[in-house]
Amino acid sequence: MDFWESDRLAAHRDAARAWADANVRPEWVEEQQDGGCHQTMALHELLARDGILAAGWPPEYGGSDVDPGFARAVFEEIARRDLHVDGWSTTYMVMHTITHVGTEAQKRRYIPAALRGELLVALGYSEPDSGSDVAAAKTTAVRDGDAWVLNGQKMFTSTAQVCSHVFVLARTNPEAPKHRGLSMFLVPTDAAGYERRPIRTLGGQVTNATFYTGVRVPGSALVGEADAGWSVMRVALTYERGVGGPGTIEKPAMAANLAAWAREARRPDGTSVLDDPLVAERIGRIAVDKEVTRLLGHWVEWDAAKGGVPGIQGTMRKLFFTEAAQRHYSDALDILGAAGILAPGAPGAPAGGKFEYDFRAAVVSTIYGGASEILRDVIAERHLGLPRNRPRR
């Protein structure tokens, strides 16, 4: 497969830039940075209105005839303008999960609503005592007639501020071994007994603790089979790490922005910062990593487009680009010197404080969507066939 950019893709890029020029408002970046919610609903409505959310989906589930290449170029353009669409990323993952494990009725109900921009889903996996070991979830769901009643607490339910649903991992069979007694539910955030409290993080994002006290959902909210939630989670995690995942920290323009600053900035002897060969080398390495990330992304998408579940590829991509981002922003702050720690809004901050902000965002990126240590274990065991480093429980 040829991954070089074709004329067709270049045309999409021009059209996507025009779409963003006409629709994306610069003040949304400030709103996301100040408010911490990485999902702007005004932007989401425009993406739905123009069929961009629905690009590439089958018509029977509400798909549009917008070219998926154009839609991808629009999302890249949005990322280039420093806007996050995390609520859509998580919704996208959950809708793909439903295509794999949902009933026909769920596909027809949830996917078109999501593509119209009316249904937005946050992920309710982590709990105060279980993040990496997510299968240790203590939130319970108990069957009551045709309904289920949920009780428990989730941590880091990101973008729940604006989401209509949370995709909740709950224990439905306390007698079964840890991984076998779990189920997944789509819980509406307007359900009685649901509560949310904000949590501000180092990266600037405001995520949430969510609480479920006697929350009652109908049987149709169960996604996949009862007690088979772990296999549903595995599909969902694949999409989180690979296809629709937390990709916005992967900023394609970062090396170019840094080079532009270094070209203009002067050293004490009057020469350009970019004249320092060590600076040029570091920026060059960043550009290479960006290219590797781009190609890993294509590998994942290619596999998903063929109907596969690109688990290992997605895991490798997430591990690579988040760790690379930490190296890149650390290099950037070294190169920028004191100016590098000027935050958004500070007078004279290079690139409007982008480097400082993204440095902090990169720190937390190796935690969400699976911490790096866990991803290395997955690659070691499932890709390289190395022995497990811990006993089975």
Footprint on this chain of ligand FAD (rule: CB under 6 A): 122-126, 131-132, 156-158, 201, 203, 205, 207, 364, 367-368, 371, 373-374, 390
State both tokens at 57: 């989906």
In the three-class reduction of DSSP (H, G, I as helix; E, B as strand; rest coil), residue 135 is classed as: helix
Give the integer Cα–Cα distance in Å for 357 and 84: 13
Cβ at position 124, least distance to ligand FAD in Å: 6
Q: Of the two residues 23 and 330, which places its CB atom closer to ligand FAD in the complex?
A: 330
Q: How far is the CB of 199 from ligand FAD (least distance, A)?
A: 9
Active site residue 240: yes
Please count the other Cβ atoms lying within 10 Å of the Cβ belonging to residue 82: 21
- Name the catalytic one among 240, 264, 323, 381: 240
CA neighbor of 284 nearest in space, from 234, 328, 322, 314? 328
Of 96 and 282, which CB lies nearer to ligand FAD in the complex structure?
Answer: 96
The C-alpha atoms of residue 320 and residue 323 are separated, in whole angstroms, by: 5
Residue 343, Cα to own-chain centre: how many angstroms?
23
Nearest to 368 by CA among 132, 184, 202, 200: 132
Strand-pairing partners, residue 152, are 212
Q: Which two tokens stand for residue 173?
A: 């069979």
Enumerate residues 6+ apart whose C-beta is below 8 A from 115.
48, 53, 54, 57, 61, 62, 63, 64, 95
Cβ closest to ligand FAD, residue 74 vs residue 206: 206
DSSP per-residue string spanning 137-179: ---EEEEETTEEEEEEEES--TTTTT-SEEEEEEES-TTS-GG
Minimal CB distance residue for ligand FAD: 131
Q: Give the nearest distance from C-beta 268 to ligand FAD in angstroms.
A: 39
The nearest distance, CB 374 to ligand FAD, in angstroms, is: 5
In the bound complex, what is the minimum distance in angstroms from residue 33's beta carbon to ligand FAD?
A: 14
Closer Cβ to ligand FAD, 60 or 373, answer by number: 373
CB of 228 vs ligand FAD, minimal distance in Å: 19
Nearer to ligand FAD, 55 or 168 (CB): 168
Q: Toward ligand FAD, which CB reaches closer, 306 or 390?
A: 390
Instruction: Please tell me the distance from the alpha carbon of residue 383 to that of residue 256, in angstroms, as a whole number.
Output: 34
Q: Which residues are catalytic?
A: 240
